[in-house]
Amino acid sequence: MQNYLLSLTFALLGLVAAINCAAVSAATPKIDFYKLYDNPEAHISLKDRRTTRDRIAAHGYPAEHHHIITEDGYIVGVFRIPYSHKLQNQDKIRPVVLVQHGLTSCSDAWILQGPDDSLPFLLADAGFDVWLGNGRGNTYSRNHTSRSPQHPYFWRFSWHEIGYFDIAAMIDYALKTNGQGQKAIHYVGHSQGTTVFFTLMSMRPEYNAKIKTAHMFAPIAIMTHMENKLVRTVGPYLGHRNEYSLFFADQEFIPSNDFLLSLFSNLCEPDYKLRPVCENVVQKLYAGNRVNMTAMPDGMATHPAGCSTNQMLHYLQEQQSGHFRQYDYGPKKNLEIYQSEVPPDYPVESISSEVHLWYSDNDDMAAVEDVLALSDRLPNMELHHMEDPLWDHGDFALNLEVRKYLNEPVIEIMKKFDQM
């Protein structure tokens, strides 16, 4: 999904720039500025951005916003749909599900398709206690017990820390808060949401006992055969420890700007006056009736959601090395941290939990060969091949038929495990 939304962001920036240029080049009309600015109706103000909690509640579901402190001091924001208002099942056993987003994304991404198709709503209506995670550094997780996001030390993390610390904290907190004595959860991740799962379960194998079933949408670990043109272009420069990657490291990718984020939100939110501008951009960029065109503008209102540049560098290192391994700090620091000049591979053979790999032929990020290579190393996995030959990386989130071909089968697997 992040590929679509990043493209849309840059397209919208271009559109705004074009409008400004046109305004400058036009002949200056005679304007009575006193009357213009004395008219209250002519004053333009940006409405506050809606949170994931607001978006969930707008559909009638109970919604909660939690803040979880990780072992290393980051404070991550997590949203919860504790039960379904349709079922009124708050007093019944509700198995816990944690759903985790991809790179540059956030919890909003999972609910853009509305209650009829989005996985979190369908899970809630199937009787689950649903938690939507946010990795450190994104819109909802920009806090720390002692560091400011304005300081570069705040951004010294990759997806390794999101898996090792953030996901672990979310699992423990959700189980405790559920209050029903449950010992394990179901997990769903898309793209980076799968990488962080593999990281946690291989580095802290005791957490496998806390997983019932895990569903990896477009699983990314081994990246040898990935075909994404941008990654393959910049990989030789930024996928190694050199002057280029050092210049790019330890900072926020696309620093957060409240005004621009509010502007995108006001352009793309439903029922806002400027919504047609956003819809026109989407219509020009995407066709073919494969993605939910109503959800795409909503995605622009919330994305990109922020991340550390180290997350991107770590992926580029994976692509260049052909290994699924820890972050490369360079030979000297690697020796200090890993007692080896080369970072160690993640021991995915230690992942004993039940892992379901959902993959497709047309995914330029998660190549079939790489998914199969990973599957050979997982002791307890099941492959689910998407039969649609055009199904790509973004389709796992925004395809018009995602409910039929992905969400409903996933829920059935969970229900069968729990014998609901």
**Which structure tokens are listed for 18?**
């074009």
Catalytic sites, residue numbers? 191, 393
- Count the Cβ atoms, other than its own, within 10 Å of residue 253: 17
Backbone phi and psi for residue 345, each to the nearest 5 degrees, phi listed first: -70, 150
Contact, 82 vs 62, CB < 8 A? yes
Distance in angstroms (rounded) separating the CA atoms of residues 55 and 164: 29
**CA-to-CA dists, residue 377 to 197, 288, 374, angstroms:** 15, 37, 5
Contact, 70 vs 269, CB < 8 A? no
HSE-CB of 164 using CA atoms within 13 angstroms? 12
**CA-to-CA dists, residue 394 to 40, 109, 111, 217, 362, angstroms:** 43, 11, 14, 10, 10
Q: Tell me, rounded to whole angstroms, the distance of Cα 213 from its chain centroid.
A: 20
Q: Would you give the DSSP letter of residue 345?
A: B
User: 67: which strand partners?
Assistant: 77
Distance in angstroms (rounded) separating the CA atoms of residues 321 and 301: 36
Which helix (H) or strand (E) element contains residue 232? helix 229-238
Distance in angstroms (rounded) separating the CA atoms of residues 27 and 306: 39
Q: Would you give the DSSP letter of residue 344?
A: P
Those residues whose C-beta lies under 8 Å from the C-beta of residue 134, and which sit 6 or more positions away, are 76, 77, 78, 79, 101, 106, 107, 140, 141, 305
Distance in angstroms (rounded) separating the CA atoms of residues 402 and 113: 10
Helices and strands (H, E) in the chain, number of each type: 18, 11
**CA-to-CA dists, residue 304 to 9, 228, 365, angstroms:** 8, 19, 18
Distance in angstroms (rounded) separating the CA atoms of residues 124 and 87: 9
User: 213: which strand partners?
Assistant: 354
